[in-house]
Structure 1
Amino acid sequence: MANTKRTDPLLEPFQLRHLTLRNRIFSSAHAPSYVEGGHPRDRYRLYHEEKAKGGLALTMIGGSTNIASDSPSVFGQLYAGDDSIIPWFQQLTAGVHQHGAAIMCQITHMGRRTVTDDGHWLPAIGPSVLRERAHRGYPKAMEQEDIDRVIAQFCDTALRCQQGGFDGIELLSHSHLLGQFLSPLINTRDDGYGGNTHNRLRFVMEVLDGVRAAVGPEFVVGMRLTADELLKGGMDAAECIQIARAIAQTGQLDFFNLLAGAPYDDLGLAGWIPPMGMPSAAHLSIVGGLKEAVDLPVLHAGGIADIATARHAVSSGLLDMVGMTRAQIADPYLVQKLAAGDEDSVRPCVGMGYCVDRVNQGKDALCGHNPATGREQQMNHVITRDTGLQPQKVVIVGGGPAGLEAARVWGLRGHQVVILEAGDRLGGQLNLAAKGETRAQMASVSEWLISQVDELGVTVHYHTWADAERVLAEQPDWVIVATGGLPMALGFSGEQHCHTGWDVLGGDRFSGDVLLFDEQGGQAAASTAEVLALAGCAVRFVTPDHSPLRELGPTTHSVAMRSLYAKGVQFMADHEPVNVVSEAGRKRVTLRNLLTGAEQDLLVEAVVTENATQPLDEVYFELKAASVNHGQYDQQALVDGRLTLPELNPDGQFKLLRIGDALAHRGLHAALYDALRFSLLA
């Protein structure tokens, strides 16, 4: 039975200085890359307002809000180094406050954790001249004048936040400039700011003193602090407790937001913001240990994606406020659903890593399976029943993710929905994506969609190969073709002797030496290689790219590669197959080096290819001429947020649309976005 507001520890209010926070769930500061001109304009504001509507207690904005020109916003952060941001702050804070949530801003100087060939092309700065592998720049060692300037910039930015209407600020120490001074791995100075713990803490104390003097005693000031670097030679838990106690004893700080780990390279980043394949909530015991040692409220966000774990963390006293940041990217109404006793309807965060990795690839943050997030200006998270409209009969051909999302949205709108599914189960390619160890949580995406469709009473016909006659027998008003695709041929000689990744993930057995050729550079080949290796195969992973799995971002790439290296997978970049022949029960494959043209032969037990899908669109073309719109729509209208269909056949009895991989191979998020916007705007 779901917890109620009277009994659930997550729904108990919490007093933070003068703030009464309405529950124990917050969203930690992050950079969704929705900024415009360094400012949090409408898209940024509406994204945070949606979570406030959804019931969270506190939203932290401005992940890495930068305070200075030599801390450039290289992955879409806010820039608060001048007064132009204050009016935008005021609009943002007013918008969040009107929905009952508190709002704070995180401010920082990134130090060495940036690049020097962007922004104003100023040198990065740090305590010492030591490069961070994740961001690849070599900083200038700070002079006293730099230290004095940065302290003043922290103070000026804190004051701007106060003027902007925030309830408080969070100083970011972990891995950024303040934390770089604290870490003995990064700070090798021999002056009064380096050496022992007391000296390494000096810069942090000076910033804190200056900020408190600037904003006064009543404004909430917290700090995001490392609880253990988890690296040999770095700050261990004992030293972090010593640092936290010293800061707390100043009386200048109101809370700690604790993290563990060291995101100085890609795997470190994955440990900090864990995708699937990494342990969830891995640092709770570390956080709990530091909480026992200090007399300040403790916040923590670190891979806590499910309500049960969050509830345990609060009820066990390991922390006071639990950050469920990516969980609320997946479902900004998580808290509201929890309070209503509707916990089972929360769309789960599965750790796909799509949001984090897109930002680190220079794109905007999007949820892998909630296409409304970040699109609050155009797409509704809460879909209501259509009123004043005649219910329509909607036939959806295909029960993969696109078809299921379309069924969910049309069903929520109150229309009659029928799914025609060729197989014996729903889920489509998600059933393959969840194979192996690393990506098993992908099953939760289809499980959630199926549960929603079941709840809505959608009719599903299994084992139904839907030709035009079968579809028209349903007498539809709308037909949505979501049939997906099948593996596309690569076109090299002897390809008929090869298998596809679908064969591997679908359960076919392989043994011995296997050559896997990956044309895509994404997760599919990683899962295929993992399944082969787990079956005992010796896998040679061949890619035409300069490195394997090139499409993946830093967190998912590092986790996938770690898994494959650990299983003995061998990699060969810059090669492609040109010919495969059968030879005494084995396969001789000729590979060409794409840079030199040189060829070599390998003898293996099997060759497996991984490529995009070819649209399975036969029924679409069978239905096209009989439809009102011939399957067409006005693209510019769709971009503007409208669905406009041309009337190309006045005698047509139904409207026809094609979505997802049935239209073109573009990935899960694109398929779900097609389904949401076509079904919502129709």
Structure 2
Amino acid sequence: MSSPLWMPGRIGALTLRNRIVLTGHGTGMVVGEGASDAQAGRQLIDYYAERARGGVGLIMLGTQQVHPSSPGLGHLLVNYDDSAIPGLRRIADAVHAQGARIFGYLGHFGAQAPGATDAPWTATAFWDELQGRTTHAMSASEIADVVAAHADAAERNLRAGMDGIEVHCGHGLLLHQFLSPWTNHRTDRYGGTLEGRLRFPCEVLAAVRRRIGAEVPLGIRLSGTEDVPGGLTVEDMAIIVPRLVDAGALDYVDVSAGNDRDRVSNMRHHPPMGLAVAPYAAVAHRLRTVLTIPVIHGTRIDSQDTAENLLASGTADFAGMCRALIADPHLPNRIRDAQADLANPCVACEQACIGHLHQGQPISCVGNPITGRETEWRAFAQAAAMKHIVVVGAGPAGMEAAWVAARRGHRVTLIERNAEVGGQLHVAASAPGRDGWRALIAHRARRLSAMSDRIALKLGVAADVDTVVALAPDVVVMACGAEPHTGIFTAVAEDVAAYVAEAPSGGGDRTGSARAPVIVQSHVAALTDPALRIVSGQSESAASRSGTVDNERAARRPHAIVIDRNHHQQGIAVACFLAERGMDVTIVSAGTRVGWRLDHANFTLAQQRMRACGVTQKVDLQALRIIGHQLLCRDVFSRDTVRLDAADRIVTVEPGIPRQEWVPSLRAALPDVPLHLIGDCRLPRDIEAAILEGHRVGRAL
């Protein structure tokens, strides 16, 4: 039976080949010299063409800024004049050539305008403490200018061949800033009552409809709830949305949620790993009850099952799948062909999509390095000559290199010392709220299995020089990861070795010793062992052996100090892991905030979690050494010495040491065989770097 997602759908007079929509999002792929010259280049065109080739029914182009008071800053499309038309036409032509439809998506950031050199335009002037600037309350003439700018930009989209228009009325952007009592405190005809707050958005929609005519599909993207105290609720929107529909004679409504000016609300409307899928489905369902036109809904609609449930439950008529299609542009065709299990999953890590965008870089995907590199990597060129490639290590880098090499026609032997593939992904998936990584592990295992005619997978094999030489390889790829270590605390390596050797098998720790045991991050999962249930600062096994428990420690819960030198997910995950298992936890960072390398959504969620489980955060402290149960630190600003007392365990979280111990011997044994080091075996970094490096090597062989 075919999926209901592949039933044709209609928006206005336009027929779409299926019910899957790529909702509007920034890509960071535009070209131009500045805020007024951000246009579509080859990278952006090929990005959208690949999603059309993958079978999506409708594409919402990334937001086009319609007026110079909302600058593009070189990574957002602008549509201020006719210079935008050629690039838009190239995108439309490329999408149409693959059988999909595409709508122009119009917006204005208002108070959120990134990098505005003048006071950003908005409903009410205020001091924006997050951006450190004062905003400008728009005059009636400025409002009229922006109304006209929307209509002009809509017309240019049609001249460029776009099939319809979407106007952004949500996420705390300009039109939303006028709609919401949270941001609109005006006392003139554009504020005060609901009628006043509706006036500007309704004028925009009416002007766009007049300009494009009755037959062109027109819709809006909106926040079905602001999800902020004092903001618009879904019941408010149930009154507002029909008014907007009438003002523009709209053909559809694209329901999202949230206000980007609020950190928590912003995080929730593109929820990172650890939060529920489709969190605002009930909001979309409520608004659909007051509408007679189609509803699109897309907030972490991550899979075929989630998307089909939207349709089956009457929540929406179309499934908006943004990050899922960033992760795998061919998901729609895979659904059609009953092969959705082969789709690269979106695990909602947000590292290479939203994370890249907020760093001013083109988006990509941790699990799919081709995203954003379609111009270079869309096709897999067959190798000129088939070779035997031996890959040592089936972690993220090794699995990627093996799969890409096999796609190009090589014969691959993939050796893994553990009983299953995945490497450090298993450690990452064991952390609180991070089990989404298991979907990526499972996908990689299925992908390797599907190419078993070209990839010989040898599990439970501890490779060495003799093992590799016996396989007579043409090329060797070393992807055997890194060895955890305690970094600056090498002087207590004896404690670490004892813990690592004993803990996984149920042996005791050293909480009763004169010095707090130092534990490396990747072995913290051993604390889930039933033999290590915590009793007043000692494991039960340690307490039973000693026969006594120090009275002072018996009066309190055990205390762990986590020294975070990665400043990403790892240290926070370890801290929450221990806190949720009954320990008092202090996390120490030399940065000005814990987790400063995280994108804003993951940072917000991490801060919520640390607060919820009572983790104490100590920042601006550089860990120096351990004396007994004290950690000595240096304040990075005052340079004073700071002592953190009563540590029963100290966990260091930092990059490991590349496993390269037998690389020299291998080079000597196979002097004429090319040898590549990838992933953490080359240089400990993160999963994005590991997979990207594996992919590049696989294409280069």
- TM-score w.r.t. structure 2 length? 0.89
- What is aligned with 1:224? 221
- What is aligned with 1:102? 101
Contact 1:615 1:661 in 2 (8 A): yes
How far the C-alpha of 1:425 sits from its partner, in A, is: 2.3
- What is aligned with 1:477? 474
- What is aligned with 1:596? 638
Contact 1:493 1:578 in 2 (8 A): no
Contact 1:398 1:419 in 2 (8 A): yes
Farther-moved stretch of structure 1 (106-115 vs 326-335): 106-115
- What is aligned with 2:84? 85
1:500 to 517, 520, 532: 520
Deviations, residues 16-42 of structure 1 (Å, cap 9, x unaligned): 122110000010110010110111110
SS of aligned partner of 1:106: strand
- What is aligned with 1:606? 649
1:337 to 331, 334, 339: 334
What is the alpha-carbon distance in structure 2 between the residues aligned to residue 673 and residue 251 of structure 1? 45
SS of aligned partner of 2:222: strand
1:439 aligns with 2:458: no
What is the alpha-carbon distance in structure 2 between the residues aligned to residue 363 and residue 658 of structure 1? 26
Q: Structure 1 residues 61, 305: CA separation in 2 closer, same or farther (over 3 Å shift)?
A: same
SS of aligned partner of 1:592: strand
- What is aligned with 2:666? 623
SS of aligned partner of 1:293: coil
SS of aligned partner of 2:80: coil
How far the C-alpha of 1:494 sits from its partner, in A, is: 4.4
In structure 1, list runs of 5 or more residues that go unmatched.
Answer: 629-651
What is the alpha-carbon distance in structure 2 between the residues aligned to residue 18 and residue 287 of structure 1? 23
Q: Structure 1 residues 134, 22: CA separation in 2 closer, same or farther (over 3 Å shift)?
A: farther
SS of aligned partner of 1:377: helix
SS of aligned partner of 1:129: coil
One-letter amino acid of the counterpart of residue 563, structure 1: R
SS of aligned partner of 1:417: strand
1:363 aligns with 2:339: no
- What is aligned with 1:36? 31
How far the C-alpha of 1:575 sits from its partner, in A, is: 0.5
Contact 1:277 1:438 in 2 (8 A): yes
- What is aligned with 2:295? 298
1:527 aligns with 2:573: yes
Contact 2:392 2:398 in 1 (8 A): yes
One-letter amino acid of the counterpart of residue 589, structure 1: L
What is the alpha-carbon distance in structure 1 between the residues aligned to residue 429 and residue 185 of structure 2? 45
- What is aligned with 2:555? none
One-letter amino acid of the counterpart of residue 425, structure 2: L
Structural mapping, 1:195-210, within 5 Å = 195-210=192-207
SS of aligned partner of 2:111: coil
- What is aligned with 1:639? none
- What is aligned with 2:499? none
Deviations, residues 123-157 of structure 1 (Å, cap 9, x unaligned): 20110124566655431111112111111111221
What is the alpha-carbon distance in structure 2 between the residues aligned to residue 486 and residue 85 of structure 1? 52
How far the C-alpha of 1:488 sits from its partner, in A, is: 4.4
Contact 1:366 1:374 in 2 (8 A): yes
What is the alpha-carbon distance in structure 2 between the residues aligned to residue 133 and residue 215 of structure 1? 39
Contact 1:224 1:259 in 2 (8 A): yes
Structural mapping, 1:171-190, within 5 Å = 171-174=167-170, 175-190=172-187
Q: Structure 1 residues 444, 506: CA separation in 2 closer, same or farther (over 3 Å shift)?
A: farther
1:144 to 140, 147, 153: 140
How far the C-alpha of 1:495 sits from its partner, in A, is: 4.4
Q: Structure 1 residues 495, 551: CA separation in 2 closer, same or farther (over 3 Å shift)?
A: farther
- What is aligned with 1:631? none
Deviations, residues 273-326 of structure 1 (Å, cap 9, x unaligned): 011122210111111111110111111110110110100101222111111110
Structural mapping, 1:304-383, within 5 Å = 304-354=301-351, 355-380=353-378, 383=380
- What is aligned with 2:699? 680
Q: Structure 1 residues 226, 131: CA separation in 2 closer, same or farther (over 3 Å shift)?
A: farther
How far the C-alpha of 1:552 sits from its partner, in A, is: 0.1
SS of aligned partner of 1:603: coil
What is the alpha-carbon distance in structure 1 between the residues aligned to residue 71 and residue 462 of structure 2? 55
Structural mapping, 1:241-252, within 5 Å = 241-250=238-247, 252=249
Q: Structure 1 residues 366, 135: CA separation in 2 closer, same or farther (over 3 Å shift)?
A: farther
What is the alpha-carbon distance in structure 1 between the residues aligned to residue 348 and residue 105 of structure 2? 24
Contact 1:435 1:527 in 2 (8 A): no
Deviations, residues 451-487 of structure 1 (Å, cap 9, x unaligned): 1112211323233222222101011111111011122
SS of aligned partner of 2:209: helix
In structure 2, list runs of 5 or more residues that go unmatched.
Answer: 33-37, 494-516, 538-557
SS of aligned partner of 1:302: coil
Contact 1:514 1:537 in 2 (8 A): yes
What is the alpha-carbon distance in structure 1 between the residues aligned to residue 344 and residue 465 of structure 2? 34
Q: Structure 1 residues 657, 134: CA separation in 2 closer, same or farther (over 3 Å shift)?
A: same
Deviations, residues 231-287 of structure 1 (Å, cap 9, x unaligned): 332212222111111122345222111112222222211101011122210111111
One-letter amino acid of the counterpart of residue 267, structure 2: A
One-letter amino acid of the counterpart of residue 694, structure 2: A
What is the alpha-carbon distance in structure 1 between the residues aligned to residue 86 and residue 473 of structure 2? 51
What is the alpha-carbon distance in structure 2 between the residues aligned to residue 589 and residue 391 of structure 1? 56
1:660 aligns with 2:691: no
Contact 1:493 1:579 in 2 (8 A): no
What is the alpha-carbon distance in structure 1 between the residues aligned to residue 487 and residue 323 of structure 2? 37
One-letter amino acid of the counterpart of residue 50, structure 2: E
Structural mapping, 1:370-519, within 5 Å = 370-380=368-378, 383=380, 386=382, 390-457=385-452, 458-492=455-489, 494-496=491-493, 497-507=517-527, 509=532, 512-519=558-565
Note the aligned Cα RMSD (angstroms).
Answer: 1.8
- What is aligned with 1:635? none
Deviations, residues 554-580 of structure 1 (Å, cap 9, x unaligned): 001111111111000000111022121
One-letter amino acid of the counterpart of residue 363, structure 2: A
- What is aligned with 2:550? none
1:578 aligns with 2:624: yes
